[in-house]
Amino acid sequence: MSEHRVIGKPLRRVDGRAKVTGQTRFADDLSLPGMLHMKLLRSTLPHARILAVDASRALALPGVKLVLTGADFPIPFGILPVSQDEHALCTDRVRFVGDPVAAVIAVDELTAYEATALIDVRYEPLATIADSEEALATPEPRLHDYGDDGNVHKRIAFDFGDVDGAMAKSERVFEDLAFFSGNTHLPIEQHATLAYVDGDGKLVVASSTQTPHYLHRALAKVLQLRAAHIRVIATPNGGGFGGKSDPFNHEIVAARAALVTGRPVKIALTREEVFYCHRGRHPVLMKVRTGVRKTERGFEIVGQELETLLDGGAYGSYGVASTFYTGALQTVTYRIPHYRFRGCRTFTNKPPCGPKRGHGTPQPRFLLEVHIDKICTALGIDPAAWRIDNAVPPDSLTANWLRVSSTGLVRCIEAVVKASGWNERRGQLRGDGGVARGLGLACSSYLCGAGLPIYWNELPHSGVQLQLDRSGRVTAFSGATEIGQGSDNVLVAIVAEVLGIDPLDVRCVTGDTDLTPVDLGSYSSRVTLMMGNAAIEAAERARLLLAGAVAEKLNVPASRLVFADRRVFDSEAPENGVEFAVAVQLAEAKHGTLGTTGSYRPPKSPGDYKGAGVGPSPAYSYSAAVVEVEVDPATGWLRVPKIWVAHDIGRAINPVLARGQVEGSVYMGLGEALMEEQAYRRLPPKLSGAHVHKFPSLLEYKSPGTLDMPDVETILIEEPDPNGPFGAKEVGQGPLLPIMPAVANAVFDAVGVRIDEVPITPEKIAKALASTSRRYGPTRFPTIAWPEPLVVPTPADGGDGKATNERPRKRELARGAVIAPPVEGKQP
Amino acid sequence: MATDLIPLGDPSLRQKVRLELVVNEERRDLVIDGYKSLLELLREELQLTGTKHGCELGECGACAVLLDGQLVLSCLVAAVECDGRSVQTVEGMQNGPTLHPLQSCFADAGAAQCGYCTPGFLLAAKELLERKPDATRAEIAEALSGQLCRCTGYLQIFEAVEAAAAQLRGGR
Amino acid sequence: MMRLPRFQYFAPRTLKDAAGLLSHWGPEASLVAGGTDLWPNMKRRQFTPTRVIGLRGVPELHAITGSPSTGMTVGAMISLTALERHDGVAAMWPALAHAARLISTPPLRNMGTLGGNLCLDTRCNYWNQTLEWRKSIDFCLKKAGSICWVATSSPRCWAVSSSDTAPVLCAIGAEVTLLSTEGERRIPVTQLFRDDGIEYLNKRSNEILTAVHLPPNGGEWRASYRKLRRRGSFDFPVLGVAAAARLDRGVVVEARIVLTGVGSRPHEATEAAEALVGKRLDDPAAVATAVERAARLAKPLDNTDFALGWRKEMSRHHVAAAIADLAAAG
Ligand SMILES: Cc1cc2nc3c(=O)[nH]c(=O)nc-3n(C[C@H](O)[C@H](O)[C@H](O)COP(=O)(O)OP(=O)(O)OC[C@H]3O[C@@H](n4cnc5c(N)ncnc54)[C@H](O)[C@@H]3O)c2cc1C
Ligand code: SF4
Ligand code: FES
Ligand code: FES
């Protein structure tokens, strides 16, 4: 809108200059005098008991300073309070090839590496579990002694409303299965950490982390240090995408190594090790049943049942949340009056899965968007029109008690339908030289920050502090971390807008637990909304202070003052005003040193059943995409020449950066759709117990290059949300979600086969073309012993947000206990 | 671990090597470990950390620099082979305080998100525009096809190169 | 960061010195040209030569001489970029320039050489991995292990010939010069390769490949190259098909079809090519026979990207496409 001078303007991002000059200091760019280097020795067995670790030969190598092993790390950690199942170095058991067993600290990295080969580890191999179906069938040996049972980490079941009744009343029931292969974030920056003991004797850990706050907690817990004496600095991340959101082994081990040696210790992971850190997209097998009833214009959903089976890998990570997310957000796109969800996560001997861009939601979105396409085809209905008719309306409550405030979904669909020529071109495209062409459409929605924090407490999710200087410079402090998404820019833009100054007048200090108020981290698309609202609050408080002082000076009511163009002036007599710096001086004279704070906590969500914590968000973003494909029916070769995508962002704080987030999401979604896969292989069991990542390299994990990227037409839909700062919603994750199903739907439009498995490769298309079913995908979903479901009446059924059959819950976790209590006498 | 696969003992393998090279138009005289790559030389011996790395195996392009004017991957150049040669890195792109047009266009067009791949892209684009000042979109995509970016989806990078090319052709 | 193992580096200034050093150090030494194959392999500790002899300072290896009427000689150290952009080469054998352009990425082509491309180590999903990864499969037959994991009962290694220029050079009948302290010999490129994943070259360990000789072509020969890979850049050939034919008034007089990516050496599909002789390049029956026969040679194993069965199917498609390219080249 025109009254804004910063918001909505395509200004250069605040960190843009540093990034093009090479001045941005990523974690591995840091070095300190006397710095030592660390390497981890990782397990070469997929599952084994550790019998003995002998480091004597390594310690004898000249240049080696220290070797740490599992014995040095008895206290476990993990991102979720319910899954504290990792050790910084494995204590008694390794659970996947790549699990760290020992660390060597030496004068240089090559020496440290050479010494890892001199550590002798004796193992007793254990049986391995390769995937989730095997995990269900193999309760012993258990990977962990916690979890629901056997190698089942978590099983959940919900009935929202009378689903059986609804299904019984439906006219037709459609059923589908799909499998989404696992894939990984692949940030170009490999994780790195520099740990040192500061001049005051306190620990400093600078790391490529998206969540300095949670790393802070994990360090305090594992190292048994007073949290107030640990400083975590999140360096700018060279890409994260969710892959740097857990506290990691190497971070904690480097910290201990720095404490023990008294010298700075750095570790920079290799690409292979990044594949072992993983925390990427869970492989998910899914089944959906949808009951429909005919309507005048098509059909409506009367009930839906979704089952998901997640292959979690060797540790918990965010897995419990991921499991919930495979069900929670499926209701905010199209109207589903009755909804049943069952989710199960298993442990397997592979690097742990966790949150990747879209966390838990892209997999079922793929299934459901393809499912809708199939139902529309079966009933002869235009899938675009159906989606418009059945979009969740604004200001509504879903069957599982999520509150949708604003939605631009219909506008998104209309925009891509128009831009792509959907109505004229779908089903009509002809390719050249025997190549078939087709169009596919899909939609999605995503949250703008989770309604509940990981540790339940009453504290703000995001805090911003402002410090105002007499020079007219304002410094904004926030715990949010810049991972490339532009969060520093959002912070600066909002403060500059509210105070009417230039973004260059604002310095931001972010992601530093000693200097900045807590922000929970750059995950779940929460930063723009939450930090943005905190920034508005802090800036508006600052404005009040300045306005009061300027009003006195100019003798005009404070309400008439305008902050713009680095001035504070009378709206009725613009020449009557003061420079912003003078306004600060006036206020400082009046109030003393100036500083304000702002904080944000999401509104309470209406759902009040156990599990209602996953899914609620202050706002939901919406996306729609049309993908055009070319398929060679002779070979299955698939090419994507063009994508149209519309994203309801609420309000674009910076349209250039917003477009970049959309296109980056489309890119990553396309990689997942076409080629990316975190694949493993097990060697013939008769000959070997090996079970390894198939090819942990950038060459063989296929990430699309410049020649693989199609033309993308990006349309930003601005449907401001009352909960968003200036109406803004998220843009970093949502636009990824529709890409995979849109590709699958386009392949069907082109050659009439259904690929119900991601990635959609030429091999699979060729197989489907040659098959009688004209389909490639899973054919069965295993029987899972689901627990008794929580039965939650829907809002339409007159429910109150509670389950009818829930035992009283204890609101136990961590309320008040913010950070693990310190242990006395162990300060460095 | 199969230690026999890693040679450790031989002292002749630990000898340092001496080299003289020109980096960003400055002469450097160095004595370094013989196993170091040009990437390690730049980052660790000269603290020129603008050159990044994402694989050290030639598979990502993050470490690209200009060696005697040619785009190369510094992770796959042995430092010992750089004796007498001239290297340009991202730190040498700007002219005093003034950004190279590619740098300012990258900053303005959203071509640097996390910025980690950016130095490599900048140098690849620079080499292209010196060779083909009026490169087409297809030629830009081809010239940058050795650089991976996980953030941008490349389109804003292409636009930044086009904008910079226009500026350079305009003599600015 | 992945780092090179420790090694001692030699920078000979003459071919004679280079050959002398190579003989002196024997199996302890490796030659390095552009290093785009050797350095990654050393970083993964697939090879750990303690002496590395760099060829970049040897001037004789950096020249391209000759003309389309006499044939051309390309020095082993000519970079793939220089090869691809050389007007004479492009005019005489455009398929070679095309194949070079399809290799890896622009910076790698600036670094990688033609000699290195021919001597490129064979590749395999179980081999181009770090020492630690290979330890976790207990290594394999190619080095330090006892089993070939792509064919567990096989007595030999099936690692794949992955050079993009090799099949083209075979198809057009190029030759190479090999030099050692004992002398020099010149052999056809087809004879440079052996069908073994470990000993994949008929080059003695003390020999240096000094030059590649391209036969003359005044336009009577046509050649083409088709490459299968997942992405538009970076990726090695999962399958490569080179075809060449000499035509007289539209009729094939002589033809060669060479497949790469499907075995430990470039495979010449002699019988397939014979099916084209005496026929026109657009003769559907002849082409179909050639495709059938060539595809029979392709026995993909699980050592590259893409699924086996499909790769086999794609060899038909690519052979047909390479022949169609020949027809279109007229
Ligand atoms: C990411 C990536 C992608 C790649 N993609 C492709 C691809 O698509 N197609 C392809 O063909 N290649 C590809 N390569 C491999 C490689 O870059 C090229 O094959 C290149 O041409 C090798 O040449 P070089 O000069 O760098 O070889 P070097 O690494 O220097 O040498 C390779 C081997 O040949 C020996 N050698 C080199 N020169 C001589 C000589 N004159 N005489 C005797 N022995 C010699 C060396 O001792 C060494 O064993 C790729 C490499 C990477 C890292
Ligand atoms: S083909 Fe067999 S022996 Fe050769 S590298 Fe591959 S697994 Fe090893
Ligand atoms: S670091 Fe990836 S190509 Fe050099
Ligand atoms: S901007 Fe992050 S990798 Fe390119």
Hey, are the CB atoms on C107 and B77 less than 8 Å from each other?
Answer: no
Q: Is the pLDDT of residue A782 over 80?
A: yes
**Architecture of the domain made up of A459-600:** 2-Layer Sandwich (3.30)
Contact A649, A728 (CB under 8 A): yes
In sequence order, which residues have a C-beta less than 8 Å from that of residue A294 and are 6 or more positions away? A171, A379
Instruction: For residue A326, count CB atoms less than 10 angstroms from its CB and return exposed for 0-12, middle for 13-18, buried for 19 or more.
Output: buried
Q: Which amino acid is at B118?
A: T
pLDDT computed for residue B7 by the predictor: 52
- Regarding whether B161 and B107 lie in a shared domain, the answer is yes
What rounded mean pLDDT belongs to chain C?
A: 97
pLDDT computed for residue A820 by the predictor: 43
The answer, yes or no, to whether any atom of ligand 2 lies below 6 A from the CB of C297, is no
**Distance between A237 CA and the closest CA of chain C, angstroms:** 17
In a domain, B95, yes or no: no
Q: Is the pLDDT of residue C243 over 90?
A: yes
- Regarding whether B149 and B78 lie in a shared domain, the answer is no
Element (H, E) at A656: helix A655-674
Among C15, C31, C55, C239, the mutation site with the greatest number of ligand 1 atoms within 8 A of its Cβ is C31
- Regarding whether B10 and B79 lie in a shared domain, the answer is yes
CA C206 – ligand 2 centroid, Å: 25
pLDDT computed for residue B82 by the predictor: 98
pLDDT computed for residue A3 by the predictor: 84
Contact A72, A291 (CB under 8 A): no
pLDDT band for position A813 (cuts 50, 70, 90): very low
What rounded mean pLDDT belongs to chain A?
A: 96
Chain A residues whose CB is inside 8 A of the B51 CB are 22
Mean pLDDT calculated for residue range C193-220: 97
Residues near ligand 1 (Cβ within 6 A): A 699; B 58-59; C 30-38, 40, 55, 76, 80, 103-104, 108, 111-113, 115-117, 119-121, 162-164, 208-209, 234, 236-237
The residue whose CA is least distant from atom 11 of ligand 1 is C163
Cβ pairs A/C, distance under 8 A: 86
pLDDT computed for residue B172 by the predictor: 52
pLDDT computed for residue A811 by the predictor: 54
pLDDT in tens, A443-468: 999 999 999 999 989 999 999 999 99
Structure tokens at A530: 């939450």
pLDDT computed for residue B11 by the predictor: 85
Q: Which domain holds residue B47?
A: 2-89
In a domain, B134, yes or no: yes
DSSP state of A105: E
Choices 3.10.450.40, 3.40.50.970, 2.60.40.10, 3.30.465.10: CATH for C59-119+160-214: 3.30.465.10
Q: Which amino acid is at A23?
A: Q
Which one, of A469, A792, A404, lies nearest residue A605 by Cα? A404
Contact C213, C71 (CB under 8 A): yes
Give B 15-54 residues with CB within 8 A of chain A. Answer: 33, 35, 43-44, 47-54
pLDDT in tens, B30-79: 999 999 999 999 999 999 999 999 999 999 999 999 999 999 999 999 99
pLDDT computed for residue A810 by the predictor: 61
Angle between helical axes of B155-169 and A655-674 (0-180°, round to 10)? 130
pLDDT computed for residue B171 by the predictor: 67
Q: Is the pLDDT of residue B114 over 50?
A: yes
pLDDT band for position B9 (cuts 50, 70, 90): low
- Regarding whether B157 and B115 lie in a shared domain, the answer is yes
Q: Is the pLDDT of residue C214 over 50?
A: yes
Q: What is the CATH number of domain A36-126+189-238+244-277?
A: 3.90.1170.50
pLDDT in tens, C134-169: 999 999 999 999 999 999 999 999 999 999 999 999
- Which of B41, B57, B89 is the endpoint of a domain? B89
pLDDT computed for residue A427 by the predictor: 84
Model pTM? 0.97
Whole-angstrom distance between the N-terminal and C-terminal Cα of chain A? 54
Distance from C-alpha of A182 to C-alpha of C315, rounded to nearest angstrom: 29
Mean pLDDT calculated for residue range A535-541: 98
**Maximal C-alpha separation, chain B:** 60
Beta-carbon count within 10 A of A57 CB: 14
State whether residue A743 is helix, strand or coil. Answer: helix
Q: Is the pLDDT of residue A827 over 50?
A: no
State whether residue B82 is helix, strand or coil. Answer: helix
pLDDT in tens, C287-313: 999 999 999 988 889 999 999 999 999
pLDDT computed for residue A382 by the predictor: 97
Q: Is the pLDDT of residue A814 over 60?
A: no
Distance from C-alpha of C96 to C-alpha of C101, rounded to nearest angstrom: 9
Residues of chain C with CATH 3.30.465.10: 59-119+160-214
pLDDT computed for residue A431 by the predictor: 72
Q: Can you state the percent helix, strand and coil of chain A, rounding each to 5?
A: 30, 25, 45
pLDDT in tens, A607-633: 999 999 999 999 999 999 999 999 999
Hey, are the CB atoms on B78 and C39 less than 8 Å from each other?
Answer: yes
A666 interface with B at CB cutoff 8 Å: yes
Distance from C-alpha of C131 to C-alpha of C8, rounded to nearest angstrom: 21
Chain C interface disruption, residue of A31, A45, A635, most C CBs within 10 A: A635
pLDDT in tens, A110-120: 999 999 999 99
Mean pLDDT calculated for residue range B132-153: 98
- Which of B61, B89, B117 is the endpoint of a domain? B89
In a domain, B94, yes or no: no
Percent of chain A with pLDDT over 90: 95
A23 interface with B at CB cutoff 8 Å: yes
**Distance between B17 CA and the closest CA of chain A, angstroms:** 17
Q: Are strands C267-268 and C208-214 parallel, antiparallel or unpaired?
A: unpaired
C152 interface with A at CB cutoff 8 Å: yes
Q: How many domains does chain B have?
A: 2
pLDDT band for position A321 (cuts 50, 70, 90): very high
In a domain, B110, yes or no: yes
Give B 78-107 residues with CB within 8 A of chain A. Answer: 89-91, 93-94, 99, 102-104, 106-107
pLDDT band for position B8 (cuts 50, 70, 90): low
Q: Is the pLDDT of residue A824 over 60?
A: no
- Regarding whether B105 and B77 lie in a shared domain, the answer is no
pLDDT computed for residue A823 by the predictor: 41
DSSP β-bridge partners for residue C227 = C240
Q: Is the pLDDT of residue A822 over 90?
A: no
Q: Where are the domains of chain A?
A: 36-126+189-238+244-277, 459-600
Which one, of A53, A27, A30, A26, lies nearest residue A40 by Cα? A53
pLDDT in tens, A750-772: 999 999 999 999 999 999 999 99
CA angle A419, A421, A422 (to 5 degrees): 110
Which one, of C188, C210, C213, C183, lies nearest residue C31 by Cα? C210
- Regarding whether B158 and B122 lie in a shared domain, the answer is yes
Residues of chain C with CATH 3.30.390.50: 221-329
What rounded mean pLDDT belongs to chain B?
A: 94
In sequence order, which residues have a C-beta less than 8 Å from that of residue A145 and are 6 or more positions away? none
Least confident span in A51-60, B4-13, B73-82, B136-145: B4-13
- Which of B46, B61, B89 is the endpoint of a domain? B89
Q: What is the CATH number of domain C221-329?
A: 3.30.390.50
Hey, are the CB atoms on A241 and B150 less than 8 Å from each other?
Answer: yes
- The owner of tokens 């949708």 is A404
Q: Is the pLDDT of residue C252 over 90?
A: yes
pLDDT band for position A429 (cuts 50, 70, 90): confident
Q: Which amino acid is at A817?
A: A
Give A 32-51 residues with CB within 8 A of chain B. Answer: 41
**Distance between C34 CA and the closest CA of chain B, angstroms:** 8
Q: Cis (ω within 30 of 0) for the bond into B101?
A: no
